[in-house]
Structure 1
Amino acid sequence: MKIIKKRNFIIISIMLIVSIVLSACSNYNFKPTIEYQIEDFKMIDHRGETVTLDSLKGQPWIAMFIFTNCNTICQPMTLNMSIVQEKLKEKGLEDYKIVGFSVDPARDTPEVLSKYLKFFTVPDESKWHLLTGYDQKFIEQFALKSFKTLVKMPEDGDQVIHGSSFYLVDENGVAVKLYSGYSEEENSGQAVPYDEIAIDIETLINNMKKK
């Protein structure tokens, strides 16, 4: 009799914990940490298709700055972005885009960007837009004005200076949150928050559907 009561107690406790967790998830309140209005743009993606700010509106998107000739953080960032997409796939989410702005547009033609992306196992390539089709001065000014981040081609060498953040942009074209897009093993405090990004995107999508 005591064994049955103990078993019932354990089952009830587990159900209570699950209920609390589910309730916490459903009541998650997304809080923007930034408010950057993205400037209008017209660019070409790795498929040769025209992409504008207006064409991205209507659903959230997550952005990063990379270039294919990068020998440091860009490949890890792209890999991390593919992991974020895997999290989104697990949640069954479809209403989002992934945008990568090339900071070396002279080298990064659509063909080069397409070849670059093929090195990565991405769950759904159709959601990606690796962008080019502008000059160096434009991307440096665009990054600073729209995302408050530095992009700079050095006078010596070909390794463009740029940040490693991921930016969450809402359905209205406003960047509302940024995350670490790259982390080194010894710097675990800046680990890429894959689950947080996925939950934030899910919340924006759900909030958008309620409007």
Structure 2
Amino acid sequence: MKKKSMMLVMVIFVSSILASCGSYKFQPELNIKVEDFTQTNQNNEEVTLETLKGKPWLAMFIFTKCNTVCPPMTFNMTEVQKALIDDKVEDYNIVAFTIDPEVDSPEVLSEYLKAYPIADTSKWQLLTGYKQEYIEQFARKSFNSHVKNDPNTDQVIHMSSYYLVNADGIVVKDYDGAADVPVDTIVADMKVLTK
């Protein structure tokens, strides 16, 4: 009798897990329209909001001389990409806006990427080619994100979030990108948005 009860509990447990896997509900938490932009990526190619439309994308704000959160954020994004590949998610982009555009030329950004174990560099767009003042206001208006040059150091103050942008250029969610990155949730959300 004990064995039958235990088996019944196991069957119910496994069934509930399988049922929950197929019924993931994406819940948008934000609704911010990304302002139109035309920037240059690490390959000296033009990237616009329009060229990114049609696929969801993950955005972040980083800079190459960062000595705090940018290296872990970039590495963590490589882990997110590995999980996306493992889950067969293909139609997406990863977009990083430099917040130190005077230093971060396309060549510098290209070298920066080489330091990370990136599974598919074709999905990555590291953007530059604008003024510091521009990226500060763009981050605020398009992502509700704080970016501010620190006049006392060579560092730039910024948030360590990842932003999920849908195929229409609307920010619908954000996640911690530096610590406790919810990789499984990001992958599940991306899967929903790529369908």
User: Same fold by TM-score, threshold 0.5 exceeded?
Assistant: yes
- What CA distance in whole angstroms lies between the structure 2 residues aligned with 1:96 and 1:7? 47
* Pick aligned residue for 1:30 from 26, 32, 36: 26
Larger radius of gyration: 1
The amino acid that maps onto 1:155 is P
1:157 counterpart = 2:146 = no
Q: Show the counterpart of 2:66.
A: 70
User: What secondary structure does 1:146 align onto?
Assistant: helix
1:125 counterpart = 2:114 = no
- What CA distance in whole angstroms lies between the structure 1 residues aligned with 2:133 and 2:74? 24
- What CA distance in whole angstroms lies between the structure 1 residues aligned with 2:183 and 2:72? 13
- What CA distance in whole angstroms lies between the structure 2 residues aligned with 1:165 and 1:23? 31
- What CA distance in whole angstroms lies between the structure 2 residues aligned with 1:46 and 1:6? 61
Deviation at 1:168, TM superposition (A): 0.3
Query: What is the TM-score of this pair, normalised by structure 2?
Result: 0.94
The amino acid that maps onto 2:145 is T
RMSD (Å), alpha carbons: 1.7
Moved more, 152-161 or 66-75: 152-161
4+ runs deviating over 6 angstroms: none
Q: Show the counterpart of 1:54.
A: 50
User: What secondary structure does 2:190 align onto?
Assistant: helix
Give runs of aligned pairs for residues 1-211 of structure 1, distance below 5 A. 6=3, 10=7, 14-183=10-179, 191-206=180-195
Moved more, 13-22 or 147-156: 13-22
User: What secondary structure does 2:60 align onto?
Assistant: strand
- What CA distance in whole angstroms lies between the structure 1 residues aligned with 2:194 and 2:112? 29
- What CA distance in whole angstroms lies between the structure 1 residues aligned with 2:26 and 2:121? 27
Deviation at 1:13, TM superposition (A): 5.3
Identity among equivalent pairs (%): 50
| Structure 1 unaligned residues grouped into runs of 5+ | 184-190, 207-211
User: What secondary structure does 1:107 align onto?
Assistant: coil
Q: Show the counterpart of 1:209.
A: none
Deviation at 1:20, TM superposition (A): 2.4
The amino acid that maps onto 1:161 is I
After superposition, the C-alpha distances for 1:16-37 in whole angstroms (9 at most, x for unaligned) are 4333222212211101111110
- What CA distance in whole angstroms lies between the structure 1 residues aligned with 2:5 and 2:29? 44
| Structure 2 unaligned residues grouped into runs of 5+ | none
- What CA distance in whole angstroms lies between the structure 1 residues aligned with 2:50 and 2:181? 29
- What CA distance in whole angstroms lies between the structure 2 residues aligned with 1:168 and 1:25? 21
